[in-house]
Structure 1
Amino acid sequence: MKDMRQQITVGIVCLVWLALALLTGETLSPTPLRLFSAAGTTVAIAALAHDRSLWRWKLVRRFTGTPLLHGTWRGEVITSVVREDGTQVPPIPAVLHVVQSASRVSVSLFTADSLSTSTHASLLRGEDGRWCLRWQFTNQPRPGARHRSQRHRGVAELWIGAVPGEGLHGEYFTDRRTYGELILAEWSPRRYGSASTALAATDFALAAPYASG
């Protein structure tokens, strides 16, 4: 989206320049048009490079303040769900995988029983300067867990800790009228495809989203 806006801006500048040249009777030379074309291409390439990778550089993020969430987070879900016998479900080990670029973010949450994927996600900065990751999700229980949990939807919100080790902490709500907390303090730059693999991994460390790079 940012790339398109920048290309549109360059295109508008070119059109305005062309209109002014025609209105004033200036002779059109191919050289300025080539320069504008080259400028538009350069802007598009630079915007793409920034969106894909340059935004992760520590120097760039010190300027923008954007936290680095891209990678895999490990922690637990504390749910309001109560078992049939009336006992509270204990904290559930969970793994959150975040795919992040400068312009977009997507989220997948793994547990032993289900997989939740985001249908819409955004990284926002509050008025107090704190960053928040919000997303809407669809939860798909694994076949062995469908007798006690059906497919459902919900929303989640995680606040990003400012101090290394604080990690991500927030809450979620579902259309089943359940809710709970998400606490994710450990982070790895690697991508894991299952909760069991990530929970057994040894390359996780206390997260530092504003210093990682």
Structure 2
Amino acid sequence: MRNVTVKSSLYLLVGISAVAWFSLAYFGGLDLSKVKDFFGLVPKVVTIDLLLVAVFVKLGWKLKLFRGWLVPFPDLNGSWLGYIYSDWKNPDTGEKPPPIPVMLTVNQSFFHISCMMCTSEMESSSYSEGFLIDPDRQIKNIAYSYTSKPRLSLSDRSIPHDGTAVFKIVEKPKQKLVGRYWTERLTKGEIVLQYHSKELLEELPEDLGEHPVTEHGNRR
């Protein structure tokens, strides 16, 4: 897929350059068969290319028009709300905790993406991120490694640690991120998130409501 988008990008850039070259020559009354006229347009064509690339990198890549053939990954910018289902067991009772309300904020550009997750007890930020996109194999994932920092008041039972999360990106019928995580503390679990808004919220909303129902109709 990556090779396809690279080829598409090159073909598109060559096409735009050709159109710019002939348009400038036509309206400028130049003869492209003359070396001086032909190469004299190079600075202007390069300027046009750079301007269009800048607009595309800033805004254009988000348009659905370019999805698939030119931009292989979706736009995940915004805040996602949901729940963590951890396999951690209380050493005193042997019971698992109830679903934990969680928020994921994604700050994405054409060249970069960062993920920050928070609950009422911790905040984690990514330091290595990447998409795993392969339409032929029906794979559309995002994965990232992160550092989690619990609140200082919880340092007696929870210490800073690293981990990795992998999410399946669901766009139809509703936007969701369904994934799993594991940490160096040997804990793991599942995370289910639904798209909330384009706004990057700075703290977890207090009104997430009851945790969702599973496919079998039972609350997790």
Q: TM-score interval w.r.t. the shorter chain?
A: 0.7 to 0.9
- Displacement of 1:28 after TM fit? 7.1
Paired-residue identity, %: 26
Residue 64 of structure 2 corresponds to which residue in structure 1?
Answer: 58
The answer to whether residue 91 in structure 2 is matched with residue 84 in structure 1 is yes
- 1:58-103 CA-partner distances (Å, limit 9, x unpaired): 3333754642211000001111211231221211100000111222
Distance in structure 1 (CA, Å) of the matches to 2:157 and 2:173: 37
Runs of 4+ in 1 over 6 A off after TM superposition: none
Q: How does 1:23-34 map to 2 (within 5 A)?
A: 29=36, 32-34=38-40
Residue 165 of structure 1 corresponds to which residue in structure 2?
Answer: 174
Aligned-residue CA RMSD (Å): 2.8
- Displacement of 1:201 after TM fit? 7.9
Give SS of 1:83's match: coil
Residue 140 of structure 1 corresponds to which residue in structure 2?
Answer: 149
Residue 22 of structure 1 corresponds to which residue in structure 2?
Answer: none
- The TM-score, its normalising length taken from structure 1, stands at 0.73
Distance in structure 1 (CA, Å) of the matches to 2:155 and 2:48: 52
Give SS of 1:176's match: coil
- Displacement of 1:122 after TM fit? 1.2
Equivalent of 1:47 in 53, 76, 79:
53
Distance in structure 1 (CA, Å) of the matches to 2:178 and 2:49: 37
Residue 19 of structure 1 corresponds to which residue in structure 2?
Answer: none
- 1:130-160 CA-partner distances (Å, limit 9, x unpaired): 3111101111111122221111001110001
Distance in structure 2 (CA, Å) of the matches to 1:35 and 1:49: 21
- Displacement of 1:166 after TM fit? 5.4
Contact 1:136/1:156, CA 8 A, preserved across alignment: yes
Distance in structure 2 (CA, Å) of the matches to 1:201 and 1:88: 20
Residue 129 of structure 2 corresponds to which residue in structure 1?
Answer: 121
Give SS of 1:117's match: strand
What is the aligned length? Answer: 178
Residue 190 of structure 1 corresponds to which residue in structure 2?
Answer: 199
Unaligned runs of 5+ in 1: 11-26, 203-213
Residue 43 of structure 2 corresponds to which residue in structure 1?
Answer: 37
